[in-house]
Amino acid sequence: MGVVGSRHPPPNLGVCKDVTPGDTGSSPRLRGSWRYRKLGRLWGEEEKGSGGCSMAELEGPEFGKADFVLLDEVTMEQFLENLRLRVKNVLLKSNCVLEAFGNAKTNRNDNSSRFGKYMDINFDFKGDPTGGHIHNYLLEKSRVLQQQPGERNFHAFYQLLLGAPAALLTSLHLCRDPSTYCYTREGAQGDACTDDASGYRAVEEAMAVIGFSPEEMGSVRRILAAILHLGNLRFTHEEETTLVEDTSGVSVLAELTATAPDSLRRALLARTVAAGAGELIEKGHSPKEAAYARDACAKAIYERLFCWIVGRINAGIAARGYDARVHGKSTVIGVLDIYGFEIFDNNSFEQFCINYCNEKLQQLFIELILRQEQAEYQREGITWQSIEYFSNEPIVELVEQPHRGILALLDEACLAAGTVTDSLFLASMDTRLGHHPHYTSRKLCPTDKTMEFNRDFRIKHYAGDVTYSVEGFLDKNKDTLFQDFKRLFYNSADPVLRAMWPDGEQSITEVTKRPLTTGTLFKNSIVALVENLACKEPYYVRCIKPNDQKSPTLFDMERCRHQVSYLGLLENVRVRRAGFAYRQPYHRFLLRYKMTCEYTWPNHLMASDREATQALLEQHGFQDDVAYGYTKVFIRTPRTLVCLEQERAQLIPIIVLLLQKAWRGALARRRCRYLRAAYTIMACYKRHKVRAYLRELLRRFQAVRTLPDFGKSVVWPEPPAVLVHFQDASQRLFRRWRARQIIKNIPPSEMGQIRAKVAAMVALGGLREAWGCQRSWARDYLSSPSENPALALLFARRLQSLKDKVHFGSVLFSCHVRKINRFGKSQDRAILVTDQHVYKLDPRKRYLMMRAIPLSTVTGLSVTSCRAQLVVFHTQSQEDLAVCLHKMQPAGDNRVGELVGVLLEHCRATKRELQVRVSDCIQLSFRGHRRLLTVETRPNAATPDFSKSRDGFVLYWPGK
């Protein structure tokens, strides 16, 4: 059927703050946009054609007088953003998931909420969200089965069909075309209202962010697919037996729900009844009854899936581990997003419940805004002329009154024995409610041809007259679902599906209470919601629907005037205009504004807070714009309060600076006292540590002159931090004193050897394994009979002839060596180092001089880090000399350090620089050609010898 009626906006969208009861007139702007007021409750309703509401227009030109705003196409997510809430990502993502499973395209709104939602958002003392909780109300599950022409099923079905990957659809036995499935066929006829493919990806991402596991998300997809396949089952009648036309569909359903195919087939075609005394009877269905059971099962599955998703979201967004004693005081903002008033061509049980909900919220609005406002003026003794307003309490009583209301009569009809039809229920209402001024039917008003006999009744709601059809009232209120389905799904192997059916655990023979009807459950939840909201102090933002064409540019004056009228906005404006924009108890008023008056700052000396408040206002000249109640002061216009706020804003910085100056001074003085005490203690402790250290140092070193090692073995005490540098300097002085004591006992003839060893230690210490520092250095080993018994005399003659010829001063070093030339030829030679030259001699030819290298041309020495006696003389002419000391007595003597030390000491005495390199890969040069010289150890080698290698030369050294 076409929709020609209108969907009216909700009765209210309120902002509730935690303020003193009765303080209903204070303006949001005067409250500093919540800067200094504690956040309490914010609750509202989404209008079923506008998609939501916003706080953007909360403050009008005269704040405190703005009661409604005009909005169009504002989503719930934008609503939260407009409130400037730093909501966690998971809270926003939960809205995406709830919209997918709870919203659908209607003729008035492409993203209409088909369920009611009340969400609490917890905030810590800094205003950061810490968690939340969601309550859902009356999901329109009948939409799963059928939709109005031009409308669609819930978004989740189309997102799965049009957005899921092809492989996933294949595993679910689905195809892309929504018209293939009975439950989505109506929605497939029109154009898609949203991008379902991107919506599918957004929902998948949101569920992952909230905390749904991949297994849970897979179960949700399988349940959606099972509902689609369930709607395509058809039943036929053969030989008094009902059968499923396509048995393959049962197998697919069993696979998706993880149940046994035979058990699923029995649940679809029959139901088990307990006949008493433990006897069970299986009663088969007719095709019509089987179709009814199929549809009831589909609705129940989707409703329980939706409730499970809400519960899973609540588990993901719950505030955990919050302790007010540790984390500070927390606050809660509640957002109510619920159905708007609905009037269709065919209004059924769902519209009846939705409009009853709106009547309850309108009643709350009347109670909080109109009745309590005027009651407060009378209670405070303020002169007031009462303003008449429409009260919808009779309409609410018509629906919910115990034993006589429509819901009570509906439950009575559902519980009656025998066959009770919708027409009999209508007749019962005509009989018992016919006298009510807000109820009528065709039987009561035969001349009204807009209603049908035995089908329609009309209620005069606050928003207009609505004609309801009783067809389906009893079935929808009973919401019958056979126990066979509950036990079937409770025994499913899918843990998610099993968790949705805890009542399936009961045996068929167990006696259970009759479940509450849908109408009673909904009434109880709405009553609890209203009681929760009634304890808050609301600030309403009215959402007016400007047109029915979903256009942002059209403004239908008649439609807006009708909404303003039935919402009671005119009465609200009159109450506000005739009343006072702001009221506050005297002590709280003084606490905020006492600094603006010299008689009240810092504290007044008057008899009462009322007299002090009166003196403050008279000093500012506002006595004509205020009224004084018994416990509160009432200010009529916001202009007065603005002036007080401006005065206060100018004085607050001065007061703050004064307080800061006094407090900072107190802190600075206290800190100064602490520092002085700390420095005094530190100074005494430092002096104690210094004295203790010096006493211990004196004790340890007072007898070092008598020790054989002059105090080398004495352990220095650990110095305090202040004496670390002192100890370093003392240790340096002690080492110099000790060295002086040792040197005093060394003969002058040995000082040259000592200086040479020191030079060798500086050059080779830590770089070479051994360098012969533990023995006496003879230097001229070739002249020693013990070293060179056969040729010592001959060498002495050659040495004398060289001295006569060259006139050198002294012999620095001499020894037999093994040398290598640029051709790789290795021979035995002798080396003589004087203070002028380095001579290469041939011992086989009476120490004939083979080569003389001026000592002034030697630029450096290279030795290895191992025990090999390899020495390379680097010269300025790039004609290096590589030798290996050998034929030493005793064998294995280490003379490389001696050669390096005497040359370094000679260069120091002659003020020349000599570079010494320690490397296992020595680079040498033969007539400009560079070669590499390495050392290898060979255990089977008797004497050291040179050989060619790929990169140059190698010295084979005997040893391990």
Contact 470, 456 (CB under 8 A): yes
| This model's pTM is above 0.85 | no
Contact 906, 835 (CB under 8 A): yes
Q: What is the pLDDT of residues 212-235, one digit of tens each?
A: 999 999 999 999 999 999 999 999
Residue 38, pLDDT score: 28
Measured CA angle at 809 (ends 804, 815), to 5 deg: 90
What does the alpha-carbon distance between residue 870 and residue 45 come to, in Å, rounded to a whole number? 97
Residue 255, pLDDT score: 92
Contacts of 94 (CB under 8 A, 6+ apart): 132, 134, 206, 210, 313, 316, 317
Contacts of 112 (CB under 8 A, 6+ apart): 48, 49, 51, 103, 104, 105, 106
Burial class (CB in 10 A: 0-12, 13-18, 19+), 453: exposed
The token duo for 374 is: 């005027």
What does the alpha-carbon distance between residue 333 and residue 80 come to, in Å, rounded to a whole number? 11
Residue 155, pLDDT score: 92
Low-confidence ranges of the chain (pLDDT < 50): 1-74, 79-80, 82-86, 193
Contact 43, 536 (CB under 8 A): yes
Phi, psi of 822 (to 5 degrees): -70, -15
Return left, alpha or beta for 326; rule: phi > 0 is left, psi -120 to 50 is alpha, else beta. Answer: alpha
Residue 17, pLDDT score: 34
Range list of β-strands (E), 869-920: 870-875, 881-885, 915-918
Counting every residue written for the chain, the total comes to 960
Measured CA angle at 954 (ends 951, 956), to 5 deg: 160
What does the alpha-carbon distance between residue 53 and residue 80 come to, in Å, rounded to a whole number? 10
Contact 812, 903 (CB under 8 A): yes
Residue 853, pLDDT score: 92
